[in-house]
Amino acid sequence: MLIRGAYPAFTDPIGVRDVLALAANPEVNARLVCQAGRRWTLDHGPFTAASFKQLPRRDWTVLVQDTNHFSDRAAAMLEGFDFIPHARVDDLMVSYAVPGGGVGPHVDSYDVFLVQGHGQRRWRISSQADLAFREGLPLRILARFKPDREWVLEAGDMLYLPPGIAHHGIAESECLTWSVGFRAPTNQDWAEGFLDFLRDRVTLAGQYRDAGAGLPRHAGEIPPGMIEHARRTLSRIRWTATDVRDFAGRYLSEPKAHVVLEPPQRSLTRARFAALAAREGVAVDRRARLLFSGSMFFMNGDAISAKGTTASTLRVLADHRRLAGPVRAGVAFWDLAHAWYLQGALHISGKEPRP
């Protein structure tokens, strides 16, 4: 779906200089993609200003993930998409490209909204079924891309692409493109994650024994009784709807592997924190993930049960990621809020540390 002028008078959340500065930050996941004919290279950051000066005038792009973790304006742009549940949010990525720059024709496994910022980018898309990749490349580039539609996007235009749609973005001029990504876990992702979740929670008493078994006819054969014992044992594994909800909340709220929260350098006591936060308000850290299901709340992979006014307050916090002051809440909420504050997951409004 193409929406012309989705953002009238669009202004990039951060400019080119700030994007390249983020690409030099060791805490940032940044990549550099260069093309020379049919040859592609991929390098991972952090990068130096000198490395960019050595690049040619054409055919390269820098990709910076999670800009919403490092910029209030980028975070605010991502919040504009809260018509989609927070549980599906991946990140707001920005790509800076010189003319001809791009990452080649490819497909994504997630939903993405592509918002054009500074400059112009040409997008070619295809609903082709052939999704085979070229071999020997550091990128997953389609071997036989056959576009059936294309558009040139100007500042403020937005293109939505669902998973599995082949697409190729090529910078027409120096440009910034903002990719609002929403995770769409595969069924295999769910299954592997749930099996990992069960591994730490399943307890099966007993042990295999083969007392009384006769001499085997074939020493290399797995005894049928051993296989039957394994079948009976595994059939005892059980889980409930509560287990599934607990897994889903933890799984979907787990931050990315490279995300590290920063506890306060000089922490406030619980009483001092509650007094200041009640007056000023609180905000969830840009890198933290807070979700809920019923009376269960999930912060960065941890589960908490809450009831009454505490649950009501937490739902508002999960929806809006902030509570404006004055905050009227009970003891249980402030106990929990202070614990999150000590972890670096919650801040007094206006007091979030700058990366």
Show the domain range for 193: 187-204+222-239
Same domain, 162 and 199: no
Same domain, 174 and 195: no
Q: Is it the case that residue 354 has pLDDT exceeding 70?
A: no
Does residue 217 come out as left (phi exceeding 0), alpha (psi in the -120 to 50 range) or beta?
alpha
Q: What is the CATH number of the domain that holds 46?
A: 2.60.120.650
Same domain, 66 and 88: yes
SS3 298: strand
Same domain, 148 and 228: no
Cα dist from 189 to 88, 194, 240, 284, whole Å: 14, 8, 19, 27
Averaged pLDDT, 259-284:
94
d(CA 278, CA 233): 53
The number of CA neighbours under 13 Å toward the Cβ of 135 is: 0
Asked if 2 and 159 touch (Cβ cutoff 8 Å), the reply is yes
Same domain, 288 and 230: no
Residue 290 CA, distance from chain mean position: 13
Same domain, 235 and 312: no
Q: Is it the case that residue 355 has pLDDT exceeding 60?
A: no
Same domain, 47 and 194: no
The per-residue pLDDT for 127 is: 93
- Structure confidence by residue, pLDDT tens digits, 165-183: 999 999 999 999 999 999 9
- Structure confidence by residue, pLDDT tens digits, 187-225: 999 999 999 999 989 999 999 888 777 888 898 999 888
Same domain, 162 and 197: no
The per-residue pLDDT for 213 is: 77
Same domain, 228 and 293: no
Please report which residue ranges of 200-259 form alpha helices under DSSP H: 224-234, 241-253
Same domain, 89 and 129: yes
Q: Is residue 53, in this structure, part of any structural domain at all?
A: yes
Q: Is it the case that residue 40 has pLDDT exceeding 90?
A: yes
Q: Is it the case that residue 56 has pLDDT exceeding 90?
A: yes
Q: Is residue 92, in this structure, part of any structural domain at all?
A: yes
Q: What is the largest CA-CA distance in the chain?
A: 83
| pLDDT-derived band at 353, boundaries 50, 70, 90 | low
Report pTM.
0.88
Q: Is residue 41, in this structure, part of any structural domain at all?
A: yes
d(CA 102, CA 112): 16
- Structure confidence by residue, pLDDT tens digits, 228-269: 999 999 999 999 999 999 999 999 999 988 888 999 999 999
Please report which residue ranges of the chain form alpha helices under DSSP H: 16-23, 49-53, 72-79, 187-199, 224-234, 241-253, 270-280, 308-320, 331-343
**The total number of structural domains that make up the chain:** 3
